[in-house]
Amino acid sequence: AQSVTQLGSHVSVSEGALVLLRCNYSSSVPPYLFWYVQYPNQGLQLLLKYTTGATLVKGINGFEAEFKKSETSFHLTKPSAHMSDAAEYFCAVSDQNNFNKFYFGSGTKLNVKP
Amino acid sequence: NAGVTQTPKFQVLKTGQSMTLQCAQDMNHNSMYWYRQDPGMGLRLIYYSASEGTTDKGEVPNGYNVSRLNKREFSLRLESAAPSQTSVYFCASSAGSGFTDTQYFGPGTRLTVL
């Protein structure tokens, strides 16, 4: 089965600083990759996803992620953090054998300091 | 356009009681999903329905049953609740019949089993 590792359950950055949230997956076959964001007391919403094609994917709210097959990584970045980015971020991957199973990472809570 | 709605928002049960969590979507989506979210564990898939009339087990199906009543509605039933089922439950839907599509999440049901 697929596994997803998000390094760092809590990340704190200053407003205006670079945001880097890490995600690694275990698979010899590139899966489909997603980043979701969850604001307090809400459901999740999609930030961006990689299926095929260009490995640098741009999403909403200025976020982007790069699929690196050699590193089995899909790290999420944003050049300049905003207070409204404070939320929990989840990386997710589809199953390597078929795309009918879906696995979430354990999440990273982003805190943005003024 | 309400998207994905879930009822109830909160519920407290005693061990051994039963209840049904309701989920409905108004986006004419084919696939629907039930997840549970526990601290430090991300979201785990309980059951999913790739189309009306079909259901399949996810990662943690034990203790749950589901019904895809029609294209709009997908319910989750706990026949005999246990404290280990204390969690936040999310319903989601997607247009396609696999995990490559964007999933749209409801606001969640916070369930406590005493």
Question: Can you spell out the DSSP letters for chain B?
Answer: ---EEEE-SEEEE-TT--EEEEEEESS--SEEEEEEE-TTS-EEEEEEESSTT--EE-S--TTEEEEE-SSSBEEEEESS--GGG-EEEEEEEESSSSTTSPPEE---EEEEE-
pLDDT for the residue A32: 87
State how far the Cα of B86 lies from the Cα of B111, in Å rounded to an integer: 5
Give bridge partners of residue A89 from the DSSP assignment.
A37, A108
Report yes or no: B25 and B71 within 8 Å, Cβ to Cβ.
no
What mean pLDDT comes out for the span B24-29?
96
pLDDT digits (tens, 9 = 90+) for A18-61: 999 999 998 766 778 999 999 988 889 999 999 888 889 999 99
pLDDT at B99 over 80: no
A chain contacts of residue B35, beta-carbon cutoff 8 Å: 104
- Structure tokens given for B82: 């246990």
B chain contacts of residue A105, beta-carbon cutoff 8 Å: 42
CA of B111 vs chain A CAs: smallest distance (Å) = 14
pLDDT for the residue B13: 96
Q: Do A99 and B107 touch (CB under 8 A)?
A: no
Indicate the residue of B44, B100, B105 with minimum beta-carbon distance to A51. B100
